[in-house]
Chains A and B, each alone.
Chain A
Amino acid sequence: MQQPQFRIWWLAVPALGYLLIAYAAPLVYLLMRSVIRPEGVSLQLFSAFLSDDYNLRVIGNTLRIALLVTLLCLAIGYPVALALARARGIAQVLLLTAIILPLSIGVVVKAFAWQIVLRRDGAIAKFLVATGIWDEPKRLLFTEPGLVIGAANVFLPFMILPIYSVVRQIDPRLSEAGATLGASPLHRFRKIILPLTMPGLITGIAFVFSMSLSMFVIPSLLMGDRFQTLATLTGRSFLLMRNEALGSATAVVLLVLAVSVVVGSTWVSRRLMRGG
């Protein structure tokens, strides 16, 4: 039994090698750049970065936008994933196509499309005025709500697909059994569906949150230069200010935030699941 198991590990070698060269090595280099200073190993870059109010505001922007995008994706994506898993035949094919096909469209194209939709004479403003929610067309473009809507559109499939892959494995008879025992739909959802979909939910949240935390193109096109996030600040430090030390520091802050939020949320969810 030992031998086949040993052999199967070799299948992971290409991926491990690729990750080592393309991800781990540059990451270690980046970490080193941020702590090795002319005067020796020091955390001075981080303390300087974190003691500046403006940078704290940038961290706040980054986290707030990522959180809002994740929540919006969750609110839209979860019901869709349930519907997708229950759908049959052509309806399921159409739904899946509608979710996966947009992934083949580049982010830049999507951002430009959103620019048209979010304009003062765009579809959303027209709808809101027609329904009486707005008295007059307002600007959505280059505002935080506009950015959140646009980013959620790009990342939505990454929320739907992991949840869908879990939901489709749930035996529908579980819910039926609950119903025969007199459980209300809400109770069945809370006690059966939600706990069983938790692994997919956590994966979806981790995907969307970490991608929205580090997105670069979408905020630069939908918000412009007046709104900085850690990712845009990092890009600018390297490309414009030629301050690689600062760029490394902001990149490390971003990485630490992403990892801790994802690991933390997984831990909390697991505990909730056990508790539930």
Chain B
Amino acid sequence: MTQEYGKGFGRRRVLLGGAATTIASLAMPGILRAQTRELVIGGAASHKPWVETHVMPMFEKKYNCKITFEGTRSLVNLEKMQKNRDKPYMSVVQMDDPVMILAVREGLLEPITAAKAPNLAKLKPGTTHMDGMWANYLQPWQGVAYNTNVLKTAPASWTDALDPKFKGRIIVPSLQNTEGLPNLFMFAHLATGKPMAEAYKDIDAAFRELRKLKPNLLTVYSQMPQAFSLLEQGEAHMILGALSSFGMQRRLDGAPITMTAPKEGIFPVPSGIAVIKNGPNPDLAFAYVNELLGAEVQSKIAPPTFALPTNVDTPIPPGMPTDATIHPIDWAFVAENRNDWVKRWDREMGA
């Protein structure tokens, strides 16, 4: 045995080899370290497919770096940013606008400027927020998803869901999920009959109207894939406030569902991107943001996510609702009141 060690990989040789590798890598920092520059991006789990297909290969090649994409929920991203406030490991975050407001309040973000990300100047009005703290790279939309085997014609109005024939067949998102909030505003609008801009703050009216929906509710979801699987199986007939990015994709995959924009209108789901304050590799971080705000990347990611682009030079993909009323959402109002609404929802909408 000792002889074999002497001939083959003795301990000393292994140590020597290790030392040589270490010295070599220290001696050539320019080459080896540049290759290992890493950009950690926090985003939603649902972003992963298009980031990996349309953004990652192009970006890694162009900037000679490696992207690590951590897909989770917006609030989990916020949690990660708070916990690592002193030494952030993520550089960029892709989150929903309401969570961005919370991140701004906690001083976790670095403003984006046109000097650092020139494409910022090319965005539609209303898609850059709080003096450039974050910007929208896409606008998916929220409408009504329905099972096409059960409903032969698209629901024309959001009030269709109140029809007693849908007893136990309607799903809505939880207020825990960002996409759960627009239903409140829509039901305030339905209850009062006033224009949305006037009606949306009447949350009492919203809850009054929503209580009428209770007998028809199958469930209130916090896991979107579960809700869509119930819709596809026919156990549920409609999802109110469904996300186009998910619903349209499932339709494309062959599921018997589709999305519609009822006459009262739909809601945009502004998808935000921001740079994390004091994060590693800020140059790469701004370059990444700039690419996502650019027409080239947006023209690739808007069609597969069934979203509206925000860069004015990007064409609107075919199949998107063109004549529907789009109601902007007052996210500051949401941020102020969301916890109270969640509490109230538990008490008034509980099973």
Q: What is the interface of chain A, defined by CB distance below 8 A to chain B?
A: 54, 112, 115-116, 119-121, 139, 141-143, 220-221, 223-228, 236, 239-243
Do residues B233 and A116 form an inter-chain contact, with CB atoms below 8 A?
Answer: yes
A239 and B75 contacting across the interface, CB-CB below 8 Å: yes
A118 CB to closest chain B CB, in angstroms? 9
A119 lies within 8 A of B235 (CB): yes
Question: Are the CB atoms of A240 and B75 closer together than 8 Å?
Answer: yes
Within 8 A of A (CB), among B304-351: 339, 342, 346-347, 349-351
| Distance, CA A221 to CA B230, complexed state (A) | 12
Docked pose: A220 CA to B73 CA in angstroms: 16
A sample of 27 cross-chain residue pairs with beta-carbon separation below 8 angstroms, ordered by A number, consists of: A54-B346, A54-B347, A112-B229, A115-B230, A116-B233, A121-B234, A139-B218, A141-B218, A141-B219, A142-B218, A221-B223, A223-B351, A224-B174, A225-B219, A225-B222, A226-B219, A226-B220, A226-B349, A227-B350, A227-B351, A236-B342, A239-B73, A240-B75, A240-B176, A240-B342, A241-B339, A241-B342
Chain A residue numbers with a CB within 8 Å of B350 are 226-228
Tell me, rounded to whole Å, the shortest Cβ–Cβ distance linking B22 to chain A: 32
Say yes or no for B224: interface residue by CB 8 A criterion: no
Contacts of A139 in B (CB 8 A): 168, 218
Q: Does B297 contact A (CB under 8 A)?
A: no
The smallest beta-carbon distance between A125 and chain B, in angstroms, is: 11
A119 to B219, CA, bound (A): 13
Q: In the bound complex, do residue A225 and residue B75 qualify as a contact, i.e. CB atoms below 8 Å apart?
A: no
Chain B residues with CB below 8 A from A240, complex form: 75, 176, 342
B221 on interface, CB distance cutoff 8 Å: yes
User: Which of B75, B221, B347 is in CB contact (< 8 Å) with A224?
Assistant: B221
Task: Give the residue name and chain of the B residue nearest to A240 (CB).
Answer: B176
B79 at the interface (CB under 8 A from A): yes
Asked if B222 contacts A142 (CB within 8 A), the reply is no
B223 and A236 within 8 A (CB): no
Asked if B217 is at the interface (CB within 8 A of a chain A CB), the reply is yes
When the two chains form their complex, are residues A142 and B219 in contact, meaning their CB atoms are under 8 A apart?
A: yes
Query: Which residues from 43 to 83 on chain B have a C-beta closer than 8 Å to any C-beta of chain A?
Result: 73, 75-76, 79
Give the distance in Å from the alpha carbon of A239 to the alpha carbon of B168 in the complex: 29
**Interfacial chain B residues near A226, Cβ < 8 Å:** 217, 219-220, 349-351
Chain B interface residues (CB < 8 Å from chain A): 73, 75-76, 79, 102, 168, 174, 176, 217-223, 226, 229-230, 233-235, 339, 342, 346-347, 349-351
Contacts of A115 in B (CB 8 A): 226, 229-230
Query: Closest residue of chain A to B171, judged by CB?
Result: A224
Known pairs A142-B218, A226-B349; A239 contacts B229 (CB<8 A): no
* A141 proximity list for chain B (CB < 8 A): 218-219, 230, 235
Return A68 CB to nearest CB of chain B, in Å: 16
CB within 8 A of A142: which of B102, B234, B349, B351? B351
Complex CA–CA separation, A33 to B58 (angstroms): 47
Contacts of A227 in B (CB 8 A): 350-351
Residues of B close to A142: CB separation below 8 A: 218-219, 351
**A147 shortest CB reach to chain B, Å:** 10
* 14 further interface pairs, Cβ-Cβ under 8 Å (given A112-B226, A242-B102): A115-B226, A116-B233, A120-B235, A121-B234, A121-B235, A141-B235, A142-B218, A142-B351, A225-B222, A227-B350, A228-B346, A228-B350, A240-B342, A241-B342
Q: Describe A's contact surface by its main secondary structure.
A: loop
The answer to whether B346 touches A239 (Cβ under 8 A) is: no
Nearest A-chain residue to B220, judged by Cβ: A225
Minimal Cβ-Cβ distance residue in B for A118: B235
| Closest beta carbon of chain A to B271's beta carbon, Å | 19
Shortest 6 CB-CB contacts between residues of A and residues of B: A224-B219, A225-B174, A225-B220, A226-B351, A142-B219, A240-B176
B44 to chain A, nearest CB (A): 15
Nearest residue, chain A, Cβ from B78: A242
Q: Does B339 contact A224, Cβ atoms closer than 8 Å? A: no
In whole angstroms, how far apart are the Cα atoms of A227 and B174 in the complex?
12
Evaluate whether A220 and B219 lie within 8 angstroms (CB atoms) in the complex, with A119-B233, A240-B75, A241-B342 already known. Answer: no
Q: Which residue of A lies closest to B76 (CB)?
A: A239
In the assembly, what is the distance between CA of A220 and CA of B226, in Å?
11
Please give the distance in Å from A143's CB to the nearest CB on chain B.
8
A9 CB, nearest partner CB in chain B, Å:
36
Report Cα–Cα, A142/B221, bound state, in Å.
11
B73 CB contacts on chain A under 8 angstroms: 239
Residue with the highest number of chain A CB atoms closer than 10 Å, among B76, B102, B230: B230
Closest residue on chain B to residue A120 by CB atoms: B235
Contacts of B168 in A (CB 8 A): 139
The complex places the Cα of A120 from the Cα of B168 at a distance, in Å, of 10
- Cβ distance B234 to chain A, nearest Cβ, rounded Å: 8
Q: How far is the CB of B301 from the nearest CB of chain A, in Å? A: 28
A261 to B73, CA, bound (A): 35
The one of A120, A121, A223, A225 that contacts B176, using a Cβ cutoff of 8 Å: A225
Residue of B nearest to A239 (CB): B75
Q: Which residue of A lies closest to B340 (CB)?
A: A241
B222: nearest residue on chain A (CB-CB)? A225
How many angstroms from the CA of A119 to the CA of B75 in the assembled complex? Answer: 31
Contacts of B219 in A (CB 8 A): 141-142, 223-226
Interchain CA distance A232-B73 in the complex, whole Å: 17
Distance (Å) between the CB of B130 and the closest chain A CB? Answer: 19
- In angstroms, Cα B237 to Cα A139, docked, is 14
